Each structure stands twice: as C-alpha cells, then as structure tokens.
C-alpha cells in the first residue's frame, strides 16, 4: 500500500471536504502529514508500513478540518504546515473557542474585586 497511501489519504480528505479541488501536487503534503502522524504514534519504519493506522487517525482530523471555518478553506500544503495544531485540536478539543461573555457576571466580578457598586460606581 506504500504507493497508494497519499491517494488514499486524499480520498479520505475529499470525502469530508467535498469542495476541495484535489491535484497531484497534494501528494507531497499528504506524505508529510503521514510522517507526522507516524511520529506521533511512535511507529517505526515509515508511513508506508503503517497505512491503515495512519488512515484511521487521518479521518477524524479530516472531519475536524471540515468543521473548522479557517482550515476548511486551506490547501493541503497549508494543512501539512499546521498539522501539529490540527492534530492537537482533534485529540484534545479546540480550546480557542470561548463561551459567550456574560456581561452581568463580568460587572459583578469587577464590582466584587474593586469594591464598587454593581453599576461600577464607587
């Protein structure tokens, strides 16, 4: 499967990112991604020997990319350059997404901290 790893990775990516226009230039970044995933899983002897494991890990990353407003519009070359970030978001969740700011709670916290009234007056 060594000669077919990049095309298989592209199929998985395309299945979750249907609007992506693939080309043969995508194979090099896909192999870079495969090498990274191999290293993360501490697999020896290169990605060509671990195609099934790589594809299994690659699919949730592709799903995550398809749901990311920034990366869903990027090329596989850009994705390869940011694969560590995407891997971490897939493995541990996206901690950059914050909840909506509750203005009332914020005013209360400021008032309590600085001994001000609830309207901010001293």
Q: How far are the Cα atoms of 8, 12, 89 from residue 15, in angstroms, in the given order?
A: 11, 5, 20
Tokens of 62: 């592709």
Q: Where are the domains of the chain?
A: 2-92
Whole-model pTM: value is 0.74
Query: Quick one: CA dihedral 35, 40, 44, 48, positive or negative?
Result: negative
Which residues, 6+ apart, have CB-to-CB distance to 111 below 8 Å? 117, 118, 120
For 45-103, how does the pLDDT look when each residue is reduced to its tens digit (9 = 90+)?
889 888 999 999 999 999 999 999 999 999 999 999 999 999 999 988 877 765 455 56
For 16-60, how does the pLDDT look when each residue is reduced to its tens digit (9 = 90+)?
999 999 888 999 999 999 999 999 988 888 898 889 999 999 999
* pLDDT surpassing 80 at residue 4: yes
**CA atoms of 20 and 17, how far apart (whole Å):** 6
Q: Is 68 exposed, middle or buried (0-12, 13-18, 19+ CB in 10 A)?
A: middle
């Amino acid at each position: 499967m060594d000669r077919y790893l990049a095309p298989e990775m592209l199929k998985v990516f395309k299945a979750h990112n249907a609007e992506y226009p693939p080309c043969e230039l995508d194979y090099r970044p896909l192999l870079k991604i495969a090498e990274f995933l191999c290293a993360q899983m501490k697999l020896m002897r290169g990605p060509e020997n671990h195609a099934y494991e790589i594809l299994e890990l690659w699919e949730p990353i592709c799903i995550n990319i398809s749901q990311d407003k920034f990366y869903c519009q990027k090329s596989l070359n850009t994705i390869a350059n940011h694969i560590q970030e995407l891997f971490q978001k897939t493995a541990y969740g996206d901690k950059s997404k914050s909840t909506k700011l509750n203005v009332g709670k914020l005013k209360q916290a400021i008032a309590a901290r600085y001994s001000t009234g609830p309207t901010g007056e001293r």
